[in-house]
Amino acid sequence: MKQPKVRSMVVAGAFYSEDPDILRRDIQKYLEAAQPPVSPAHPIGLISPHAGYQYSGGTAAYGYKLLIGKKYKRVIVFALSHRVFFPGASVFTGSGYETPFGIAPVDHELIAKLQASSPIFTFSPAAEKLEHSLEVQIPFLQMVLGDFFLIPILIRDQDLATCQMVADAIRKTLPAEDYNSTLVVGSTDLYHGSSYSECTSSDSTFAETLLKFDEREFERMIRRNEMMACGPASVMATMLLSRALGAKKIALLHQTNSADVVGYKSDYVVGYLSAVLY
């Protein structure tokens, strides 16, 4: 499959509005409603959900609201490849990601250095083509940050070893003077299933485990099926890289699920969480 120069938006009109004016109003509404319980001077990483905005946009806004008024040179987004299997990490090497707000340009220079530094970085056009988990983060980032360079990374192998190799390669490649101007975003939803009670239990365990800031314990809990997330690698990679960039704490910002958002318990429930690493 030939690589496109621009990665076209594929879930606009479904996960969020394709009309830039409506999208801007929607995101502004979510940001105004969000009341984060902490406000770190310098957020280093975020954990953010990736469902349709009507379900998880309110939760995502808790993290993105902390970025208003701040400047970052680049944003590294770790996200899950839901449909396509590949080894290592897929990094888009085209010119940018399209959204209704315009093109978010990728950081060509750093991406080239990453690919030269480690075979862990490849590119899977098939994985990029239909994936929503990374795309849905970008309109929020454009809204609150304005200009930035994007490093979009999809990970399919949900194991700590892969995450460690990815984070180590980025840490070694990223100039030390750019640590303070780099933001990391880990994209994941939590429980997926048919039981509301299982959802609340699993998601509570997820939050408790996340706050320990211990990626080994996090992986153990996932492997034991004591909690659920569709993108645990996004979380572990964000933990590892954020720590390397100076993060020492994680704070929970907001937690909910699709049943609570829509106001009734249907036959399928998905959990959402927003957290900040600082």
Predicted confidence pLDDT, tens digits, the chain (278 residues): 555 699 999 999 999 999 999 999 999 999 999 999 999 999 999 999 999 999 999 999 999 999 999 999 999 999 999 989 999 999 998 999 999 999 999 999 999 999 999 999 999 999 988 899 999 999 999 999 999 999 999 999 999 999 999 999 999 999 999 999 999 999 999 999 999 999 999 999 999 999 999 999 999 999 999 999 999 999 999 999 999 999 999 999 999 999 999 998 878 999 999 999 99
Contact between 107 and 149 (Cβ < 8 Å): yes
CA-nearest of 264, 263, 261, 262 to 273 is: 261
Domain 22-261, CATH class in plain words: alpha beta
Give the residues across from 149 on adjacent strands: 74
Q: Which helix (H) or strand (E) holds 276?
A: strand 269-277
Phi, psi of 103 (to 5 degrees): -95, 125
Residues 6+ away with beta carbon under 8 Å from 259 = 196, 199, 265, 266, 269
Q: How far is CA 153 from CA 39, 118, 206, 242, 260, in A?
A: 27, 14, 23, 15, 31
Contact between 134 and 10 (Cβ < 8 Å): no
